[in-house]
Structures are given as structure tokens and as C-alpha cells.
Chains A and B, each alone.
Chain A
């Protein structure tokens, strides 16, 4: 005869039953691919036939390549400056758009355009714009204004290319940041500002002591998201200027040009994953204080 369960045991069983579907879905869609990727990173993956176990060779191949370390540095430059720029620019625009002025609704809509326009179309527009021989930018600064005595390739030249990619990223992504911030700005209790005004606070002090603390977690989350997105960004950077070898682009060259090297690609994905997770953990603990 089966022993009847106590109320606590029934609750525990119900808990397990409720959580189980999520555990299975997460296990299948997240844990399994990550684990399989780690497993694959220790093999030479052959197009046909079985794979060959090579231990940590894929990893040593990568970390002994100087281009890998250059791409790590490029990635950090790109991610830090583009994330910081996007957040700052989004914040400034959101603060400006929170004020009342004529045609505000139209201006607010226009601001969204860079974010919603297809990447490929914008990238080609930028390339034509900055083309060293036919581009209008060079034509203006060299031929019309005479600021430079000879033409140059702003997008292509390695020392400029990363800054063009960063500016492009800021320009393309700031509307999202702006939208999130302005949504939060509109929920701040106006009586706080009224009280501050009675106390004689300047605009800067109102921003520092009311607006910024209210926005703190929105900004924190936006920085975190932008950091992750830009760390993994491929299409925008590669299409605009493949000279900016961030980690995803390095991975593409290393693993996916010519005959694919899935083992090498997996090892790179693991390294990228570890770097990203490490940085996120530090950020979440130190900045977001979760």
C-alpha cells in the first residue's frame, strides 16, 4: 500500500513539476549547445568521417597567434567606446526630447530612423559617402574646403577605421538607448523637481540628485545589454569595414573562410564566452550590485 505524501512533499513535487519544463527547454536550447561546443573545441572536425581528438591544440593555436591578442584589444576598444558613446548620446538626446518644444513628436520619430533602417543599406550609404575617389565627404573636405591636400580613405585606413566603426555604432544604436531612457524619464515624479526648485537647486544638481539616481538601473542595464550586443557584433562591423578585426571577425577569418574549421571556431566561441561571462559577472556585481 502506497504511503500518502505529506503536504510538504506534495508541495515539493509540484514545485519540481512546474520547474521541469523550463529546465528541459533551457537544457536543450542553452546547456546542450554550450556543452557540445566545448566538447567540439577539443577536436579536429572533419567534413566527412569521424572527428579527431586533439586536446587543447585548438586553444594553443589561437593564443599563440598575435592577431588574436590584437583582436581582443580591438574588441575592447570598440565595445567600451561604442557602449559609452551610445549611452551618453542616448541620454543627452532623451533629456533634450523630454523638454517641450514645437514639433517634438515629429523630431522624436525621426530620431528612431537610424535604428530601424536596414544595416546593409546604411552601410553602403556610408561607404559611398566616404569613398576616397568618388565620395562626397572627401570631395567637400579636399576639393571644396581645402582642409587636406590629398584624398584619403577614412573607412578603410586601419588607424581611422575603428573610430568610424565606433561612430557608426553610436549613430545606429543610440535611438534604442534614447527610447529606454525617455520612457523612464517620463515616470519620474515631477514633485521631486518642484521641491528641488523650491530649495534653489540648479539644473545640474537636479540632474545629479534626482534624474541620475532614478535612471541608474536603466542606464546600468542598457550598458550591460549594449556591452553584450557589441561584443558579439559581426555584421555591422564586417560590412562597414573588415579592417576592424574584432573577435567575431577574427573568428570568421580563422574558422569560416575556405574549408570550415569547426573545432577552431568552437574553441574561439568558448574563449569569447568565457571573456564575456567574466566581464558581465564583474559588472553585475560591482555596478548593478545585484
Chain B
């Protein structure tokens, strides 16, 4: 019995010694090149390939840096970061929506010092001030660096509106009038698409209405004022508009009905621009060839010219909505990795790398740097989408970055709790209850208010 025990002990000791030697060698190797992870939310394979080219180019220019590109779905970002944080292997750089960057930043995850330094390096005056405002911490620092963005608006059939003698959907009154006019469910035609599922799209549509009615979540001192007459009015109006939606709860995917000629208006970001103008992009949304029996339609090459976009909505106030996607350096102990990430992020803002990145989704990814919007190379996207819309429309979209409003900034003050509420999707859940479950508006707003209070307590 004793001999096998000795043999086992010997094996264990040999294993332990070997592992120490290997670990020591590993540490020696790590002392050389710096490596870090870059988490991107551009998870589609073609976009990953483009970003990988940028990474490879940077690595050739900087042989001491090794970047591991990791695709992470935006919705999974929080979970993944939490797990990585617990495991002690956080990425050095992430690409993330501004609201999430603020929410994570207020939890101490973002390296505000390095992010602010990077903005200084690029030049604060180079950015659209509206975009920069969305990432400011309120303490003179920035949670992240604006990278690109899209603006939202109502895309509508201008030819139908003209024929019907209706005004463009710029005001509450015009929108409701047109939605009602074009709503004809017996003919499988619908007036408008506003989000009614419990998800981000619904919040995006609603935010623009709420802010155009002067409704806020918080006052400038950070007191919750969600349950206000203005907000109630916005919820009531939104529920009325939702009646002219296609049947049942709807999300952004229902934009396909517009491409099929079955809807007059829909809320969408500038990401729709390629679907409207390029047949191969729109193909996935059209059912004409798949179900000939159904009232689907083929690609309408004139749709792009028949479509107009209204970026601002007016009631008591005027409001535009959009999302700024940011790059953020993560707070972490490995200073070398963080510095390398800053340098790589700086490289991504150089004109060639930046335009290459933005051209992955022309119209969807718009520059936050003023100089790039007027850059000739940027204006000539490889797919020719910008030409379909013309310089004036593109200029309107780019400068729209300055008009983005959000619940998380009130009179210039940063309200981080508003970002937390946004990411928790309490408002879309409330709107779902009202529009789909038929909950009384006051009861739904009371429910939402109590959930918000629990969150910010």
C-alpha cells in the first residue's frame, strides 16, 4: 500500500514543479508584447472582417501590441462584462451605446481619466457638441468617447401624403391624422409603426414623443418627476397611435411591411437607408417571390425617392432622438493594456481607419467628427447609398447629431439614474401593458414609477 502512495506523491510533485516552471515562462513571455481584448457590438461577420482588417493593420504598425477582437451582442454586454469583471479578465476597450456607457460608468467600470484624455488628444472641438454631451459625466470628465451614431425619425411615403393632401408628419396632430387616414386593416394596410413590445425600440420611439411634450424622467436636480401630466399625455397619445399599428405587439422588424408597401409611416434609424435604396439589402424583407399567393411585393426601385424622413417632432417642444455609439476604455489594473487601448482607439479616429469603419453601414454609422462628414472619401461610399439621398439629406442627418435629446441630460445636468432606468426597459414594459394588455394608463404609470423608485433607491 505504501509504494503506490509514494509513486502518486512523486507524480503530484513533478506536476506542481512543471506547472511553476511553465507559469514562470509564461510570465516572462507576457512581459514582452502588450495584449488586450477589444469587444465590439458589430457582430455580423462582414463587419467583423472589416474591423479585423483595421486591427491587423494596426498590429503591423505596432508589432508590440496584440489585439484580440471579440464580438459581443449589445444586449449581452452587461452580462459579459460582469462575468469578465468577476474573473479578472476585463477587456481594455469596448464599443457600446452611450446610455450603457453612462450606466456602466456610474458603476465605476469606465476609465474616465483615459477616456477624457483621448478626447483631448483628438480635440474636443472636432466632435459634434451634442454627441459629446451624451457621454459627459457631469464632473468635467467623460465616461466614453463618441464614435459614431444614428438618428431616428419618421420615414414616410411622401407620394401617398401628397396624393392625400396631408402635411408631412412633423407635429403630433399631423402624425395622428395621417396614421388614421392610412390605416385600412381590411386591405392589409397600416398607418404607422411605433414600438409596443417591451424592448429598446419602443423606448426609442416613445422618448421622442415624451420629450417633444416637455415630459422628463427627472428634474435638473435629479428628483424623479416621471408621473407628470406631460408624461401622461405622451403615454395617452402613444397608445392612440399604436392603434394604427399592424396587429399585436410590434417591434422594429415590422419595418418590412413598409418595404412591402403596406405601411405609410414608421419610426426607424438611419440604418434603413441601405434597405430602401439597394435591392439586395431589401431582399430579405420582401415576400413577393416566396409566396406569390400573398400580397407581397417585389423591390420598388422608386421607394427611395418616394420616401422622406422627418427627424424632429414637435408638440409643445421640438425633439430629435438618436443613439451615439461610443468607444470606452475600461477601468482595470493593467496600465500597459489600457495605454495600448488608448493608442488603438486613437488610430481608429484617423481619417482612413474611421471612414473604413463608418462605411460598414452607410447611413447607419454617421461620423461624430465634424471634419469627416465633409470628407470627400466619406461621401463616396462603396455602395453608392449616399448618392441616392443627396448631399443635403446627408448633411441634415450628420448635423442631427447635435439635436439628440435624452432623458439622462436635463438642462445640461447629467442624470445617471435615467440611464439605469433606460437600460432596465421599465418604460417599454409600461407601454406594453398599456397598449397590449389594456392596462389603465394611471395604473401602468404608477407601476412604472414604483419600479423606478426601487431601482434608484
Contact = CB atoms under 8 A, between A and B. Distances in A.
Nearest to A142: B188
Given A67-B447, A253-B429, A242 B294 contact: no
Contacts of B108: 46-49
A262 B82 CA distance: 9
Given A48-B85, A132-B247, A153-B249, A258 B331 contact: no
Contact of A260 (B78, B256, B287): B78
A132 B436 contact: no
Interface string B221-257: 0000000000000000000000000111110001011
A156 interface: yes
B420 A258 contact: yes
Contacts, number: 104
A155 interface: yes
A61 interface: yes
Given A66-B447, A257-B423, A242 B198 contact: yes
Nearest to B293: A139
Interface stretch (B99-107, B304-312, B389-397): B99-107
A150 interface: yes
Given A48-B109, A155-B248, A158-B437, A134 B296 contact: yes
B414 interface: no
A132 B260 CA distance: 14
Contact of A259 (B78, B249, B250, B436): B78
Contacts of B450: 64-65
Contacts of B20: none
A253 B291 CA distance: 36
Interface size class of A (residues with CB under 8 A): 20 to 34
Interface residues of B, number: 47
Interface in A130-169: 132-134, 136, 139, 149-153, 155-158
B11 to A, nearest CB: 19
B420 A134 contact: no
Contacts of B198: 242, 253
A243 B291 contact: no
Contacts of B436: 156-158, 243
B85 A150 contact: no
A261 B290 CA distance: 44
A229 interface: no
A242 B70 CA distance: 28
Contacts of A158: 436-437
B246 A242 contact: no
Interface of A: 46-49, 61, 64-67, 132-134, 136, 139, 149-153, 155-158, 242-243, 253, 256-260, 262
13 contacts: A61-B454, A133-B254, A139-B293, A150-B186, A151-B247, A152-B248, A155-B248, A157-B249, A242-B198, A243-B249, A253-B425, A258-B423, A260-B82
Interface of B: 75, 78-79, 81-82, 85, 100, 103-104, 107-109, 185-186, 188, 190, 197-198, 246-250, 254, 256-257, 260, 262, 287, 291, 293-294, 296, 331, 420, 422-425, 429, 432, 436-437, 447, 450-451, 454
